[in-house]
């Protein structure tokens, strides 16, 4: 479906020419991006010609997919107004800004919270598909650089403006902040045990909209405000992490950017580093190893002398993941040794942040195994996966499932088909108990690696066991 504009869309035509994309090429890219998000689109070169020459505006997610397709070719985000499609959705840029001013930062975050899952204002219905395909790793450049330059705001004390809220302004106290922290802790446990799941119906986005937004728009002292921004940053990062785990990369990016801005307002440099580490893991997962290195090193740079040994270990581990994805074995090995060294220096009585409770030697070993998987060193993968799987726990079910898949890949690359299938079966069993698109993608990667052995009964059995997982909605 399309609606008519007045006259040709000269902006779209000009940007297509700049990007060097033909009408047929754009149609193909848009259809492919839609398919990745469960949409069946059948645009062709004639459809694109109508968008350009007659100014017709496609409906639904299509304008954002058009912008994403062009952005991928140009290597930067492309806002809808640049291609003459700004009227297709009033909120395409929400969540991507990293304002210098604290007041603007509050507005930027609460605007994102108040959107429903279609990227429209709450109450209009829909899903995040209206922002589908708009992830661009380059959107992290400005937030990271501004955070490095100024990791803390001078003052965040605020007097509420009644016009900004939907009710009477709130006088925020420490008890309000504690409720947000407790919500974050509950959400962390839920996510680790069950996966990001259908994060759209989870407690975190709703808590941000209903609880955090009114508090951020309330009145608070500088002391209370710092704590409020910190708790809100934790919840916002969690929303991003859950979106990342379920494959909603566009939503995750917006939450991460706002979480980093809130961490800056909280003057919490380690928390800001944690958000940057999350951005790095997303970039690395998406195949942007070099950018992942930059983001991890940004986390490290500002935390020297501030973060605990365990925190620094985790940041170096994330850096190692990015180096490995970029194919730099020497740098990855150096970062892993540094991460292990920091971890060995950590002590039980250290004042580690609560959000780092998941990180132990088991997690270090699991990520080290993934580094060596990317570097195609199966012997090292087996060594670290054995350590990572030595103490399975019901608390971190998703992590256990991911480790099993990595172990299966290592066994396969070592020529042990039976062991690979055995680990694969265990991984599928775990994946069936959680809701995590990321875990499903790992299983799909294993099955792809097993395709040359498709006639083997063990492989056929594994594929059959995985079938319900692969056809279920992620």
* pLDDT for res 389: 85
Last residue of a domain, one of 88, 119, 150: 88
State how far the Cα of 407 lies from the Cα of 423, in Å rounded to an integer.
7
Q: Which helix (H) or strand (E) holds 199?
A: none
Residue 74: give the domain boundaries: 2-88
* pLDDT for res 23: 93
Q: How would DSSP label each residue in 177-207?
A: HHHHHHHHHHHHHHHHHH-S-SGGGSHHHHH
What is the model's pTM? 0.79
* pLDDT for res 36: 65
448 within some domain: yes
CA angle (259, 199, 72) in 5-degree steps = 65
What are 23's two structure tokens? 């009408």
State how far the Cα of 20 lies from the Cα of 8, in Å rounded to an integer.
19
* Three-class secondary structure of residue 57 per DSSP: strand
252 within some domain: no
CA atoms within 13 A on the CB side of 241: 23
Last residue of a domain, one of 33, 53, 88: 88
111 within some domain: no
Cβ atoms of 432 and 471 within 8 Å: the answer is: no
State how far the Cα of 418 lies from the Cα of 244, in Å rounded to an integer.
32
170 within some domain: no
Burial readout 284-305 (b: 16 or more C-beta within 10 A, e: otherwise): bebebbebbbbbbbbbbebbee
Please report the sign of the dihedral spanned by the C-alpha atoms of residue 391, residue 397, residue 402, residue 407: positive
Last residue of a domain, one of 88, 118, 149: 88
* Residue owning tokens 């190893």: 289
* pLDDT for res 337: 97
What CATH number does residue 82 fall under? 1.10.260
Cβ atoms of 303 and 269 within 8 Å: the answer is: yes
173 within some domain: no
pLDDT tens for the chain, 474 residues: list them. Answer: 455 555 789 889 999 999 999 999 999 988 888 776 556 788 999 999 989 988 888 876 788 788 888 988 887 778 778 888 876 554 557 888 999 999 999 999 999 998 754 344 443 334 444 455 567 888 999 999 999 999 889 999 999 887 665 566 789 999 999 999 998 888 888 777 666 554 444 678 888 989 999 999 999 999 999 999 999 999 999 999 988 888 888 889 999 999 999 999 999 999 999 999 999 999 999 999 999 999 999 999 999 999 999 999 999 999 999 999 999 999 999 999 999 999 999 998 899 999 999 899 999 999 999 999 999 998 999 899 888 887 766 667 888 888 898 989 989 988 999 999 999 999 898 888 877 888 888 899 999 999 999 889 999 999 999 888 876 544
CA atoms within 13 A on the CB side of 148: 15
* pLDDT for res 127: 41
22 within some domain: yes
430 within some domain: yes
What CATH number does residue 418 fall under? 1.25.40
76 within some domain: yes
CA atoms within 13 A on the CB side of 324: 25
Give the closest residue to 402 by CA, choosing from 362, 448, 375. 362
Q: Give the total number of structural domains in the chain.
A: 2
Give the closest residue to 316 by CA, choosing from 111, 115, 308. 308
What are 296's two structure tokens? 């991890």
Please report the sign of the dihedral spanned by the C-alpha atoms of residue 203, residue 206, residue 210, residue 213: positive
> In 10 A of CB 213, how many CB atoms?
22
State how far the Cα of 389 lies from the Cα of 366, in Å rounded to an integer.
8
State how far the Cα of 373 lies from the Cα of 380, in Å rounded to an integer.
8
* pLDDT for res 119: 42
């Amino acid at each position: 479906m399309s609606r008519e504009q007045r006259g040709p869309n000269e902006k779209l035509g000009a940007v297509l020419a700049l990007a060097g994309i033909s009408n047929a090429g754009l149609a193909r890219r848009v259809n492919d991006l839609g398919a990745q998000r469960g949409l069946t689109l059948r645009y062709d070169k004639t459809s694109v010609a109508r968008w350009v020459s007659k100014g017709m505006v496609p409906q639904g997610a299509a304008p954002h997919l058009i912008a994403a397709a062009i952005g991928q070719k140009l290597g930067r985000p492309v806002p809808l107004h640049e291609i003459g499609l700004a009227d297709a959705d009033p909120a395409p840029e929400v969540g991507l800004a990293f304002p210098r001013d604290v007041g603007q930062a509050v507005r930027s975050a609460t605007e994102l919270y108040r959107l429903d899952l279609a990227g429209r204002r709450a109450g209009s219905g829909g899903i995040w598909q209206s922002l589908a395909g708009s992830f661009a790793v380059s959107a992290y450049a400005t937030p990271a650089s501004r955070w490095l330059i100024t990791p803390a705001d001078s003052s965040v004390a605020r007097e509420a403006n009644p016009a900004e809220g939907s009710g009477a302004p709130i006088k925020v106290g420490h008890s309000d902040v504690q409720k947000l922290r407790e919500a974050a802790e509950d959400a962390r446990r839920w996510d680790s045990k069950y996966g990001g799941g259908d994060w759209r119906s989870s407690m975190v986005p709703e808590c941000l909209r209903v609880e955090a937004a009114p508090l951020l728009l309330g009145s608070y002292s500088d002391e209370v405000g710092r704590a409020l921004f910190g708790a809100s940053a934790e919840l916002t990062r969690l929303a991003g992490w859950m979106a990342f785990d379920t494959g909603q990369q566009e939503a995750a990016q917006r939450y991460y950017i706002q979480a980093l801005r809130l961490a800056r307002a909280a003057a919490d440099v380690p928390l800001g580093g944690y958000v940057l580490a999350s951005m790095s893991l997303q970039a690395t997962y998406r195949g942007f190893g070099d950018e992942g290195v930059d983001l991890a090193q940004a986390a490290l740079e500002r935390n020297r002398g501030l973060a605990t040994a365990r925190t620094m270990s985790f940041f170096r581990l994330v850096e190692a993941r990015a180096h490995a994805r970029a194919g730099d074995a020497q740098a990855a090995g150096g970062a892993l040794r540094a991460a292990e060294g920091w971890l060995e220096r950590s002590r039980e009585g250290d004042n580690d942040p609560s959000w780092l409770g998941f990180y132990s030697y088991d997690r270090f070993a699991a990520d080290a195994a993934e580094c060596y998987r990317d570097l195609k060193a199966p012997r090292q993968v087996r060594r670290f996966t054995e350590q990572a799987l030595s103490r399975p726990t019901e608390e971190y079910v998703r992590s256990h499932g991911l480790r099993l898949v990595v172990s299966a890949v290592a066994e396969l690359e070592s020529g042990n088909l039976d062991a690979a299938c055995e680990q694969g079966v265990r991984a599928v069993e775990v994946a069936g108990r959680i809701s995590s698109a990321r875990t499903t993608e790992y299983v799909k990667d294993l099955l792809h690696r097993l395709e040359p052995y498709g006639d083997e009964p063990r492989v056929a059995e594994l594929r059959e066991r995985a079938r319900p997982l692969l056809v279920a909605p992620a």
